[in-house]
Amino acid sequence: MTLARELRRAIERADFATVEDDWLARLDEDPRQLDYFVAVARSLAGAGQADRAHVLLELVDDQLQKSEDWQLRLDLMERSRVLHPSGEKPHKEILATVERIYDGQPSLAGIVELVGLHRAVDDVARTWTKVERLQQMMQFEMGTVVAMEGKGVGRIVEVNLELASFKIDFAEVGEIRVGFKAAGKLLRALDDGHFLHRKLSVPEELKGLAPTELLRQLLESYDRPLTASEIKLAVSGLLGPKTWSSWWTAARKHPQLVTEGSGVKRTYRWADSHAEAGEAVLAQFERAPLDGKLKIFRKEAGRDATVGGAMRERLAELGQELSSKEPESAFAIASALERNGGAADDSSWSTVALAQAGNDPADWTAKIEDRAVRREAFELVRQRDDWPVHFNRLIGRETEPKLLGYLASELRSHDPQAFDGLLDGVLSQPRRTPALFVWAAEGIGGDSDPLDTKNPTRLVQAITTVGERSEFAPYKSRLRQLVADGDCLAVLISRVGEDQAQATEEALGRAHLEEYQRERLINALHMRFPDLRPDQEVGLYATERSIEARRAELKNLLEVEIPANRKAIEEARELGDLRENFEYKSARQRHEYLSARVAKIDGALRRVQPIRFGSIDGSEVRVGARVSLRGANGDRQKITILGPWESSPDENIVSYESDLAKQLLGRSPGDVVDLLGGQMTIESIEPAEG
């Protein structure tokens, strides 16, 4: 505390009578003014009047003892060492005061002993350190209600001096032990008037309060504003199931609730009066940028006539000022004023006037950040005679799907042929208008499909490849959903003509798809055009080891993978609307992939034949043989011929279906074959396995 100038000058000129008179007047007025008494005492001691300071402080000390204000007396003793500089006497006074503060508390004697307050009585500095530690621990006496970050609210049920720990019974997580040393950092003692204390001790009383009253008592228990998530956590357990939204809507309808910030950082506090709340709102309004001003105005304009009127007046000034240089900002202001209390005073910058002005509205309407206001601007531009020109420009700039739908609908109705040409440009160069391309693709198969007449093969290729381009980075999740959903590509496959089928299959082969997605779509294409299917093999040969591996895979699919996927489908179905349920659709697609895999393996196992290595007699190259070859330059090579399941060219194991194997099958030792870029002679033939 800084002393008043007059008092400081009185000490400097040794006018101690004036100092004492002021001191005594203050003492009669309120002996609790420790900042004043300590500051004067230190100034006196600095002026060589330590004894005088000591006497004056003893007067304060006597008064505090008479009023039994023991905590304040302890604070005075600690802050004014001049009163008890050293020795056994100050230690006794400190100990006696501590005992008065915590009189009747069962843990006091044990904690006094634990911190060693009875020892080193002449070391006053250490005594105060011990007192500080004792006070930190004594705030957590048996029965004290405490709050702990992440654990909620609980009550101390045990003070264990031997373990040097507290046991707290938390309402939400049960009993937890916290060490004495950590308690000061982890625990916060709550007085019996605190909201969280009352939530634990008298929950029914709080449950009976009206929403605004419950919110008031909660916010007034804290010395800082709270976020919505903090409020929700604090009232949890007091509200009925699924009633948070309705409670929160009702609780916020009070003029003394002050909101600050936006998004997840938005906080709430309770003002002392309607007037104070209004002043706080206006202060926020003045500090905020324009978009913030508009948000505050829309929300708070109806708080009271004074607040609403002041905001309207300021916005009108801004609107007039910005109408020529920032028409998008002026339009947003005019729209807000028209929706909340009437049109702008000056009709020259009303929403209609701005939209009908001679300047190009496409240059500024696209800059309006609020989507609802931007839609309003588009609708007013639609009333112009030259609106198609502006809409054709706007549709290439817009990114919001609903607004793209509005612009497209108007253009399509006005001139279908011109709109069709516009879409041709989008498909030929999707990178120029990525938002419009994604919007159009999402409409495939819908009631007003914008691409229903376009080449389906070209669309399949575009939809499955553009996601890798940087221009489409903001739309990757929508494209991923479009592909994962499968409906869009399935519709396109249903539109493929016979002359486009082969090109569509090749496009799917190059597409950025998961294998199960690709296989599902190619199967759908093959069902429409069976001639695309590769010729079925008349036979299949494999080693016993490979056959057993396929059987094990089939068993795992039937007994593990498919049951787990079936469970995932049921869990996803419980999440809600199946039309918008990404988890459900993904699980269904995996089910289709697993089923197709089972069918494929089962069909192969039904026709597979084990390779008979015992039939290899060395006279002829057959499936299951290892062929030793020698080149004209003396180089030697060994090639093993097995089935497609065992093929491993890096290890010189080839499938009997390969071109290399077909040049060797049926040949005998001594035969010369054109192989591996030159002529090689078969030296010997032996079984690949003994």
Same domain flag for 175 and 222: no
Q: Which are the contacts of 2, defined by CB distance < 8 A and separation ≥ 6?
A: 39
Taking 70 as the threshold, does the pLDDT of residue 427 lie above it? yes
Same domain flag for 200 and 177: no
Could you tell me the residue range of the domain that residue 151 belongs to?
146-189
The per-residue pLDDT for 580 is 55
Same domain flag for 164 and 224: no
The per-residue pLDDT for 82 is 52
Is residue 307 exposed (0-12), middle (13-18) or buried (19+ Cβ within 10 Å)? buried
The per-residue pLDDT for 84 is 54
Residue 73 counted as domain residue = yes
Point out the least confidently predicted range of 25-29, 63-67, 258-262, 394-398. 258-262
Point out the least confidently predicted range of 106-115, 226-235, 276-285. 106-115
The per-residue pLDDT for 528 is 83
- Beta bridge pairs of residue 147: 153, 188
The per-residue pLDDT for 596 is 81
The per-residue pLDDT for 567 is 87
Taking 80 as the threshold, does the pLDDT of residue 85 lie above it? no
Mean of per-residue pLDDT scores for the chain: 87
Same domain flag for 22 and 127: yes
Instruction: State both tokens at 253.
Output: 């309808």
Same domain flag for 199 and 180: no
Residue 527 counted as domain residue = no
Please spell the DSSP secondary structure of 599-658, one letter per residue: HHHHHHHHHEEE--GGG--SSS--TTEEEEEEETTS-EEEEEEE-TTT-BGGGTEEETTS
The per-residue pLDDT for 327 is 92
The per-residue pLDDT for range 436-459, each reduced to its tens digit, is 999 999 999 888 888 888 888 888
Same domain flag for 14 and 73: yes
- Beta bridge pairs of residue 267: 227, 260
Report CA 207 to chain centroid distance, whole Å: 31
Q: What is the largest CA-CA distance in the chain?
A: 132
Same domain flag for 599 and 556: yes
The per-residue pLDDT for 176 is 92
Residue 178 counted as domain residue = yes
The per-residue pLDDT for range 175-223, each reduced to its tens digit, is 999 988 888 889 998 998 999 999 988 999 999 999 999 999 999 999 9
Same domain flag for 108 and 36: yes
Kindly report the pTM of this predicted structure.
0.55
Same domain flag for 573 and 681: no
In the structure, what pLDDT confidence band is assigned to residue 577 with cuts at 50, 70 and 90? low
Alpha helices in 511-610 (DSSP H): 515-528, 544-556, 562-573, 582-607
Residue 499 counted as domain residue = no
The per-residue pLDDT for range 627-671, each reduced to its tens digit, is 999 988 888 899 999 998 998 888 899 998 888 888 899 899 999
- Is 180 in contact with 226 (CB distance < 8 Å)? no
Select from 658, 657, 650 the least CA-distant residue to 675.
658
Q: Which are the contacts of 305, defined by CB distance < 8 A and separation ≥ 6?
A: none
Final residue of a domain: which of 219, 239, 270? 270
In the structure, what pLDDT confidence band is assigned to residue 88 with cuts at 50, 70 and 90? low
- Is 83 in contact with 77 (CB distance < 8 Å)? yes
Give the CATH number, domain containing residue 636.
3.10.50.30
Looking at per-residue pLDDT, the higher value among 685 and 532 belongs to 685
Residue 346 counted as domain residue = no
The per-residue pLDDT for 236 is 86
Same domain flag for 171 and 199: no
Residue 636 counted as domain residue = yes
In the structure, what pLDDT confidence band is assigned to residue 535 with cuts at 50, 70 and 90? low
Share of the chain above pLDDT 90, in %: 36
Quickly count: other Cβ atoms within 10 Å of residue 229's Cβ: 9
Looking at per-residue pLDDT, the higher value among 510 and 687 belongs to 687
The per-residue pLDDT for 581 is 57
Final residue of a domain: which of 155, 189, 223? 189
Q: In what order do the strands lie in the sheet with 187-189?
A: 174-179, 165-170, 152-160, 145-148, 187-189
SS3 annotation, 224-292: CCEEHHHHHHHHCCCCCCCCHHHHHHHHCCCCCEEEECCHHHCEEEECCCHHHHHHHHHHHHHHCCHHH
Final residue of a domain: which of 250, 270, 290? 270
Contacts 24+ apart (CB under 8 A), 461-465: 461/507, 461/510, 461/511, 462/427, 462/430, 462/437, 463/488, 463/489, 463/492, 464/489, 464/507, 464/508, 464/511, 464/512, 464/513, 465/510, 465/511, 465/512
d(CA 60, CA 563): 81
- Is 623 in contact with 665 (CB distance < 8 Å)? yes
- Is 68 in contact with 100 (CB distance < 8 Å)? yes
Eight-class DSSP state of 576: S
Point out the least confidently predicted range of 261-265, 533-537, 568-572, 623-627. 533-537
Phi, psi for 638 (deg, rounded to 5): -120, 130
Eight-class DSSP state of 534: P
What do you get for the CA distance between the two ends of the chain, in Å?
Answer: 100
Query: Helix axis angle, 456-463 relative to 416-428, nearest 10°?
Result: 50
- The sign of the dihedral angle between the CA atoms of 16, 18, 22, 28 is positive
Share of the chain above pLDDT 70, in %: 95
Please spell the DSSP secondary structure of 391-455, one letter per residue: HHHHTTT---HHHHHHHHHHHHHH-HHHHHHHHHHHHH-GGGSHHHHHHHHHTTTSTT-TTTTS-
Instruction: State both tokens at 389.
Output: 């020109």
The per-residue pLDDT for 393 is 93
Residue 32 counted as domain residue = yes
The per-residue pLDDT for range 349-363, each reduced to its tens digit, is 899 999 988 778 988
Total domains in the chain come to: 5
Helices (H) and strands (E) in the chain, counts: 34, 15
Same domain flag for 55 and 107: yes
The per-residue pLDDT for 122 is 81
Taking 80 as the threshold, does the pLDDT of residue 572 lie above it? no
Give the CATH number, domain containing residue 576.
1.10.287.180
- Is 91 in contact with 127 (CB distance < 8 Å)? yes
Phi, psi for 304 (deg, rounded to 5): -160, 165
Same domain flag for 603 and 619: no
